[in-house]
Amino acid sequence: MSYEQKNEILKPTCLIQRLEKPVGDTSPFDFGVGGSGLKESTEELISKIWSWDYMGAFEYENGSVQRAMETIQCYSIDNRAFTGNVEVGDHKLVYLLCEDGTESGVEKRINQLYNDERELYLKRPALFKDSIDKIRATNIIGWLELDNGFIFFKNKTAYNKALKLFGINPKK
């Protein structure tokens, strides 16, 4: 499969998990009854970087977060990770981690979120533009896309910590 073909095969995005500033402890109520599906030790590491915003829909539970995190871990371990940033709005940087070869499609998706996320028909709002423009949802620091397995942040510190979590050395 060519590099160009890979960018065009992103599945539609329906589920984006909002990531908030860390609160210090994991809570059994961050997710509904189904939970995130992640190991407790993983949740403890993550709790130092971000906390999960409760999305209020079953689709976000029972392993969808776990599958997305495993996807990111796999391409990170295999040295197939792309790290970079995309500019949205009025020169605001968003930092992204995705699979190498998908960055063009991921950048388009992020821009679509900023321009009008309603076009994506998300299960729950990402509140991306509101958060980036500091209109509301100012506690959100990042987003985990669950359908294609990529993660992006408005907060560079959290982004760099996430890179380390996945075994990637942040660029200076």
Write the pLDDT tens digit of every residue in 56-114. 888 887 788 989 999 999 999 999 999 999 999 999 999 999 999 999 999 999 999 99
In a domain, 113, yes or no: yes
Q: Say what the pTM is.
A: 0.88
Phi, psi dihedrals of residue 148, rounded to the nearest 5°: -120, -10
When the pLDDT of each residue in the chain is averaged and rounded to a whole number, the result is 87
In a domain, 171, yes or no: no
Per-residue pLDDT at 31 exceeds 80: no
Q: Around Cβ 49, how many Cβ atoms within 10 Å?
A: 21
In a domain, 170, yes or no: no
* Number of structural domains in the chain: 1
In a domain, 115, yes or no: yes
In a domain, 172, yes or no: no
What is the span of the domain harbouring residue 72?
A: 3-165
